[in-house]
């Protein structure tokens, strides 16, 4: 009600329906705030403003002006409504009703005075409270709030302060982690076995940290501020004073192990050594370390600058202090850490693989790729699982699938389709062809490729026709079952860790509240019933002991 009368209807629509933050300077130019002052002058500036307004009586004129209807003609109002509605629908895919409700109130009350507009606002938004989406989004808020307060350990342990960070590996992940650290004005020591990779990594770091959102380009002042914090080196001894050393080299246990043997003797007694591995057991990597209590996994997600989640992996001998320090460090660089006990796939990849594996099984059953993609996006996923294969890289997915198959052969099979795709050199966006064809690799949009049939047809088991709801069940029920196994094995401390991890790690739809929150809306008994038609597909659809017991007792994942 107030915003359109203060900053104009167009600005108000953008602010309220978009939900994005603006900086102080923009707020002043827009008229949303009166002045922009340094924090130390805030009290004095506020007092001066009050005294000035008391003399000029300008606040009374503002009150009268802001009480009137918004000054906008019908043509402009109609155009704003049409363009804003189309944009909101495109952004929310119809899953979030609040932005459209806000738009309707903003447009509908523009011709009313402030009192009548306020009544219209109250009436319109009352219907949104208590809806399933409202409850789900409130749950996501509480998930995030809980994570901010979580130290990562049950015991009262003080984390060690991290004043300098060392990173081995200057590739996409290493340089991304380094940039996140440098942005917080912490010094980074960086090295790579390949000099060209090291030079490229430094360039990527400086490009990212010098980027100015206002000018949408490199800022020389930011460059001068951050560049001295990056120490590119080929000398291991320069890591000796680092408080935390993160290894982000190739996913090969032998390569990682050799690196640890070389650098551990150089590190201080209190230095934490961590791996950014996404799949290799932390216990296995720590086998030859002399201080395994000071070793853990700190798994960032790609791209680091965009992905908020970090998995802190506790190995069999990792100390509470190491975990607490890793959690505090992740928060210090702007991430949301979740502590996971060591195990294949950790948390996110272990839950993601059943979903992606089932997408391949659906293809082999004859379900069209378009139908699979459409069902996943209708559920609320940011992209379909087949597109995700192309984005991740089919060779990468094949390796991850092998790890999961070795760990859980009873429910994660070796996909003949994935093997055939890799053999055919169809690795996804990076090679120009995967499940889709990519004419422009930079754009990232794929189009159907008739040549795909040459790989798929020989492997088809039939032509199954499934409804959209059945495809959704095939994709997401195995994920729910795997989550119950994770809870049974106590890989995480709370079901909420599962939900936040999937929302932040793979874009599980927030309007569902999280995987287990969504499961609670169905109820365990209903899920068991939904699994019945798929029992012939094997163990991956059989209720776990935990789910069966919950169905009998009526227990929910969110017990409190």
pLDDT in tens, 151-179: 999 888 999 999 999 999 999 999 999 99
Averaged pLDDT, 373-380: 96
What is the spatial distance between Cα 8 and Cα 51, in angstroms, rounded to a whole number? 27
Res. 327 pLDDT band, cuts 50 70 90: very high
Is the predicted pLDDT of residue 443 greater than 70, yes or no? no
Average pLDDT, the chain: 93
Q: Is the pLDDT of residue 388 over 70?
A: yes
Find the mean pLDDT for residues 49-53.
93
* Cα separations in angstroms, 353 against 522, 540, 559: 23, 12, 27
For the residues 231-236, what does the mean pLDDT come to? 95
| pLDDT reading at 440 higher than 80 | no
Most distant CA atoms of the chain, gap in Å: 85
pLDDT in the model for residue 328? 97
3-state secondary structure of 447: strand
In this prediction, residue 194 carries a pLDDT of 94
Please give the structure tokens belonging to residue 84: 């804003």
The pLDDT value recorded for residue 441 is: 59
Domain residue limits, the chain: 3-129, 165-342, 349-553
pLDDT of residue 19: 82
How much is the pLDDT for 399? Answer: 87
Q: What is d(CA 36, CA 413) in angstroms, rounded to the nearest whole number?
A: 60
Q: Cα torsion at 168, 272, 283, 544 (round to 10°)?
A: -100
What are the tokens at 218?
């490199």
| Residue with the larger pLDDT of the pair 502 and 559 | 502
| DSSP annotation string for 24-75 | HHHHHHHTSSS----GGGHHHHHHHHHHHHHHH-HHHHHHHHHHSPP---HH
Q: How far apart are the first and last CA of the chain?
A: 37
d(CA 544, CA 540): 9
**55-108 pLDDT, tens per residue?**
999 999 989 988 999 988 889 989 999 999 999 998 888 899 999 999 999 999
| 109 has a pLDDT exceeding 70 | yes
The sign of the CA dihedral 322, 496, 353, 482 is: positive
Model confidence at 47, pLDDT cuts 50, 70, 90, reads very high
How much is the average pLDDT of 420-443? Answer: 88
Give the model's confidence band at 348: pLDDT under 50 very low, under 70 low, under 90 confident, else very high. very high
Poorest-confidence range of 120-134, 288-302, 431-445, 479-493?
431-445
pLDDT at 155: 85
Q: What is the mean pLDDT of residues 231-254?
A: 94
Predicted pLDDT of residue 309: 97
**Mean per-residue pLDDT for 518-529?**
97
Alpha-carbon span 314 to 337, nearest angstrom = 12
Q: Does domain 165-342 have CATH number 3.40.50.720?
A: yes
489-515 pLDDT, tens digit each: 999 999 999 999 999 999 999 999 999
Which residues are tagged catalytic? Answer: 299
- What CATH class does 3-129 carry? alpha beta
Percent with pLDDT over 90 in the chain: 78
Q: What is the mean pLDDT of residues 430-453?
A: 87
- Token code pair at residue 178: 């380094």
Closest alpha carbon to 355 in 503, 477, 483: 477
Give the pLDDT score at 520. 97
Query: pLDDT band at residue 442, thresholds of 50, 70 and 90?
Result: low
The conformation of residue 459, written as its DSSP 8-state character, comes to G
| Cβ within 8 Å of residue 160, ≥6 positions away | 243, 270, 272, 321, 325
Q: Report which of 386, 384, 387, 365 is spatially closest to residue 375, judged by C-alpha positions.
A: 384
Work out the number of other CB atoms within 10 angstroms of the CB of residue 20. Answer: 7
Percentage of the chain modeled with pLDDT above 70: 99
Quote the pLDDT of residue 483: 98
Which pLDDT score is estimated for 21? 86
Q: For residue 314, what pLDDT band results from cuts at 50, 70 and 90?
A: very high
CATH architecture classification, 349-553: Orthogonal Bundle (1.10)
Average pLDDT of span 372-379? 96
């Amino acid at each position: 009600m107030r915003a359109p009368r203060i900053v104009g209807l167009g600005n108000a629509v953008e602010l309220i329906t978009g939900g994005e933050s603006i900086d102080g300077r923009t707020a002043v130019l827009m008229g949303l705030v009166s002045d922009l002052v340094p924090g130390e002058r805030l009290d004095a500036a506020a007092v001066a403003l009050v005294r000035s307004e008391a003399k000029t009586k300008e606040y009374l004129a503002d009150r009268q002006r802001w009480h009137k209807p918004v000054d906008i003609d019908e043509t402009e109002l109609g155009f704003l409504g049409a363009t804003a509605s189309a944009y909101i629908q495109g952004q929310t895919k119809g899953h979030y009703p609040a932005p459209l409700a806000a738009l309707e109130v903003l447009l509908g009350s523009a011709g009313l005075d402030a009192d009548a507009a306020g009544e219209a606002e109250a009436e319109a938004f009352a219907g949104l409270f208590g809806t399933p989406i409202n409850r789900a989004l409130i749950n996501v808020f509480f998930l995030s709030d809980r994570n901010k307060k979580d130290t990562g350990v049950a015991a009262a342990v003080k984390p060690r302060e991290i004043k300098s960070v060392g990173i081995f590996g200057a590739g996409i992940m290493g340089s991304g982690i380094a940039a996140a650290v440098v942005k917080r004005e912490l010094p980074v020591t960086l090295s790579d076995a390949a000099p060209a990779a090291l030079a490229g990594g430094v360039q990527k770091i400086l490009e990212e940290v010098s980027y100015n959102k206002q000018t949408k380009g490199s800022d020389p002042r930011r460059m001068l501020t951050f560049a001295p914090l990056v120490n590119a080196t080929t000398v291991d001894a320069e890591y000796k004073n680092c408080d935390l050393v993160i290894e982000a080299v190739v996913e090969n246990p032998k390569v990682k192990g050799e690196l640890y043997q070389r650098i551990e003797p150089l590190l201080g007694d209190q230095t934490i050594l961590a791996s950014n591995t996404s799949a290799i057991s932390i216990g296995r990597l720590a086998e030859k370390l002399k201080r395994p209590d000071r070793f853990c996994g700190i798994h960032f997600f790609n791209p680091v600058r965009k992905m908020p989640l970090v998995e802190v992996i506790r190995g069999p001998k990792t100390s509470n202090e190491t975990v607490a320090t890793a959690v505090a460090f992740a928060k210090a660089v702007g991430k949301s850490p979740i502590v996971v006990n060591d195990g294949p796939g950790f948390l996110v990849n272990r839950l993601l693989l059943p979903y992606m594996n089932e997408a391949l099984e659906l293809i082999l059953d004859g379900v069209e790729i378009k139908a699979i993609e459409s069902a996943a996006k209708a559920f609320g996923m940011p992209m379909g699982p087949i597109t995700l294969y192309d984005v991740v890289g089919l060779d990468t997915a094949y390796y991850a699938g092998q790890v999961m198959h070795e760990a859980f052969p009873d429910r994660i099979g070796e996909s003949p389709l994935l093997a055939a795709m890799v053999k055919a050199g169809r690795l996804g966006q990076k090679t120009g062809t995967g499940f889709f064809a990519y004419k422009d690799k930079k754009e990232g949009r794929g189009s159907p490729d008739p040549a795909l049939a040459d790989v798929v047809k020989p492997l088809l088991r039939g032509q199954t026709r499934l409804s959209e709801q059945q495809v959704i069940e095939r994709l997401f029920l195995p994920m729910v079952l795997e989550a119950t196994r994770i809870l049974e094995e106590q890989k995480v401390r709370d079901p909420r860790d599962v939900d936040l991890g999937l929302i932040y790690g793979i874009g599980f739809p927030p309007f569902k509240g999280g995987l287990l929150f969504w499961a609670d809306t169905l109820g365990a008994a209903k899920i068991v019933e939904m699994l019945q038609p798929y029992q012939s597909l094997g163990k991956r659809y059989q209720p776990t002991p935990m789910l069966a017991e919950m169905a009998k007792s009526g227990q929910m994942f969110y017990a409190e």
